[in-house]
Chain A
Amino acid sequence: MEQIGKQVRLPFRRAFQIALSGIRIRFGRSLVTVSGVVLGIAFLMSNLTGQLIKQSIAQESEQRNTVNLMLSLVKSEIGDVSGRHIAVSSFGNLSTVEQLLLSQLKTTADVREGDGAVLRIVLGNQINSPASLTTLTAGMSQSVVLDSLANRVYAGTAAPTMRRELFFGKESDEQIAKQTRQARADKFRNWWIVTISLLVTVFGVANALLMSVTERFREIGTMKCLGALSSFIRTLFLIESSLIGLAGSILGVILGALLPLIAYGFVYRFGLVFGTLPYGGLFGYAAMAVVVGTLLAVMAAIYPARFAARMVPASALRSTV
């Protein structure tokens, strides 16, 4: 008598092939399941992208405001800068604001080294002693020293004194607290909406997969009659859902990133939106959204997969399903 042995586990590659061909053949149904993931992930991604765009535009406009403020201070001290001789001393790497200021000045003023400058701008280094200030303003008839790092403006004749301290973006504590509260509330509401939409996605995918299990009752039963282990059936559904999740998330990410980019592009300018967008952050969010979408799809498949795996093989024999 032949001894009864133990059934071997099928290699993952084979299960993957079967799952993939299943998706391809049932393309219409797969598309419905995929679209659930696409919508959920597109919503998540559009939220994240929207935040990113808003942040970068806000940052950009704040920087511009700072530059404008600096320029208007200069103007109040020495009058119109156009055509006038301005000297620049820069130390180390310049900040974005400093670069912006410099490029703004260069469009109208005569920016170069040499004697007779009416304005000395110190970029990238803090003026920490009156002596250094004197050195910097030596030989100038009238001078304004902008110390952007310390947010200070020095003006005067031979020995300029500190005129003004600029409080760029420095609000009162109360204002800051209010803004923080508002930001926290916004963030909470945002995440709440995103969470709900993702939950809807999970249930949608779970429902579609359950339908797909019921449709394939006979197929699953047949596979079991032919010697498939329950774990194989489970693996089959988990692979299928992860592929659906991956495809759906990638589509969702593309859709969810493009829509707000286009929308904000029309509201502001495309140049501004695309110019200021932090692409690293965007790709980070995209990667996160793909991982989230795939994981959620797999999560959604856990119950349907277990349900399918528990089926008795005899159900394949029932003539009416």
Chain B
Amino acid sequence: MSLTTRLAETLRQAGDSAKGHYVIRAVDVKKIYRMGESETHALRGVTLDVRRGEYMSIMGPSGSGKSTFFNMIGGLDKPSAGKVYIDQVDIAQLDPYELAWLRCRKVGYIFQNFNLIQVMSCIENVTLPMSFAGKDSEEARDRALEILEMVGLRDRALHKPGEMSGGQQQRVAIARALANSPDILLADEPTANLDLRTGEEIIELFRNLRDKLGVTIITATHDLKMLKASDRIVWIDDGRLARISTPAEANIQIGEVH
């Protein structure tokens, strides 16, 4: 796919061999939500290592703690007990400035609902994380146009998200996630609101990001095609790690007609 070849040329090489083998390590992570008197144990101790450059899918029924775990390893939430290391740094030790830095440059987030900022145009959405990173606006704009070109939306740079289709919006969201060349891409059900074909394009894009740039990709998904494309599938159930397997072991059958 030429789109991702161009991506490969322009995006910074992230998979640096000098870096550690594991990009994320979760050690006995527990999360308890307190609502008045009652306690909800969202996570009851999950230990998991994510390899650098791996494409991992997280599965689990709703209420399983999947989303909570997802937030933990993305540095969006802090565990009640246990440790989460991102690039060998315990995120509990980070101050708000360092956490913001981590979310800004190290991790790219892709959401089920795209979460584009509706009041901003396409290009403003993509430049936003670069502004947060302190890039000057000229440089940010050039790079945003570059990435939008890669996802095939350069001509729609000045459009507002409301004027675009779901697939286009998700591509803008992906462009935004890639703006600061993150090592880790976290995607929460990225294909759930998309049609089949757009979903496939996004899977292809992820696979290429992993192969060409060594970006670690973690998705929470129920999409069989996404599961099939991943290196490992992690099942979470009732706040515990239930199973880890490869797609082959999981024996995923794709029933859709192509």
B101 touches A5 (CB 8 A): yes
Determine how close the nearest CB of chain B comes to the CB of A83; give it in whole angstroms. Answer: 78
- In the assembly, what is the distance between CA of A100 and CA of B189, in Å? 85
Determine how close the nearest CB of chain B comes to the CB of A107; give it in whole angstroms. Answer: 67
Q: Is B237 an interface residue (CB 8 A)?
A: no
Q: Is B18 an interface residue (CB 8 A)?
A: yes
7 pairs, A vs B, C-beta closer than 8 Å? A1-B19, A1-B20, A2-B87, A2-B106, A2-B183, A4-B89, A226-B103
A4 touches B132 (CB 8 A): no
The 5 closest A-B pairs by CB, nearest first: A227-B104, A7-B100, A227-B132, A25-B119, A8-B134
Proximity bits, B101-137, A CB within 8 Å = 1, else 0:
1111110010111011111100000001101111001
Chain A residues near B188: list those with CB within 8 A. Answer: 317, 319
Q: Is B143 an interface residue (CB 8 A)?
A: no
Q: Is B158 an interface residue (CB 8 A)?
A: no
Q: Is B76 an interface residue (CB 8 A)?
A: yes
Determine how close the nearest CB of chain A comes to the CB of B153; give it in whole angstroms. Answer: 18
B positions within 8 Å CB-CB of A = 18-20, 67, 70-71, 76-77, 87-89, 94-98, 100-106, 109, 111-113, 115-120, 128-129, 131-134, 137, 176, 180, 183, 188-189
The closest CB in chain B to the CB of A318 belongs to B67
Known A4-B102, A6-B97, A225-B103: A313·B76 in contact at CB below 8 Å? yes
Chain B residues near A22: list those with CB within 8 A. Answer: 119
B94 touches A226 (CB 8 A): no
Determine how close the nearest CB of chain A comes to the CB of B156; give it in whole angstroms. Answer: 18
Most A CB within 10 A of own CB, among B76, B105, B112, B189: B76
B118 touches A219 (CB 8 A): yes
For A, the interface residue count at a CB cutoff of 8 angstroms equals 35
A219 touches B97 (CB 8 A): no
Known A1-B19, A4-B89: A227·B117 in contact at CB below 8 Å? no
Q: Is A94 an interface residue (CB 8 A)?
A: no
B98 touches A4 (CB 8 A): yes
Chain A residues near B132: list those with CB within 8 A. Answer: 7, 10, 226-228, 232
Q: Is A163 an interface residue (CB 8 A)?
A: no
A21 touches B19 (CB 8 A): no
**Which residues of A11-33 are within 8 A (CB) of B?**
14, 18, 21-22, 24-26
- In the assembly, what is the distance between CA of A4 and CA of B94, in Å? 9
Most B CB within 10 A of own CB, among A14, A227, A312: A227
Q: Per a CB cutoff under 8 Å, which of B70, B71, B105 touches A227?
A: B105
Determine how close the nearest CB of chain A comes to the CB of B174; give it in whole angstroms. Answer: 13
- In the assembly, what is the distance between CA of A222 and CA of B128, in Å? 11
B100 touches A229 (CB 8 A): yes
- In the assembly, what is the distance between CA of A313 and CA of B103, in Å? 10
B119 touches A6 (CB 8 A): no
A317 touches B119 (CB 8 A): no
A314 touches B96 (CB 8 A): no
A226 touches B71 (CB 8 A): no
Q: Is A234 an interface residue (CB 8 A)?
A: no
Q: Is A316 an interface residue (CB 8 A)?
A: yes
Chain A residues near B101: list those with CB within 8 A. Answer: 4-7, 227
Proximity bits, A287-321, B CB within 8 Å = 1, else 0:
00000000000000000000000001110111100
B87 touches A227 (CB 8 A): no
- In the assembly, what is the distance between CA of A232 and CA of B105, in Å? 17
- In the assembly, what is the distance between CA of A224 and CA of B111, in Å? 13
The closest CB in chain B to the CB of A316 belongs to B115
A226 touches B176 (CB 8 A): yes
Determine how close the nearest CB of chain B comes to the CB of A24; give it in whole angstroms. Answer: 8
Most A CB within 10 A of own CB, among B19, B104, B120: B104
Q: Is A207 an interface residue (CB 8 A)?
A: no
Chain A residues near B98: list those with CB within 8 A. Answer: 4-7
Chain A residues near B97: list those with CB within 8 A. Answer: 6-7, 229
Chain B residues near A18: list those with CB within 8 A. Answer: 120
- In the assembly, what is the distance between CA of A228 and CA of B99, in Å? 10
Q: Is A230 an interface residue (CB 8 A)?
A: yes
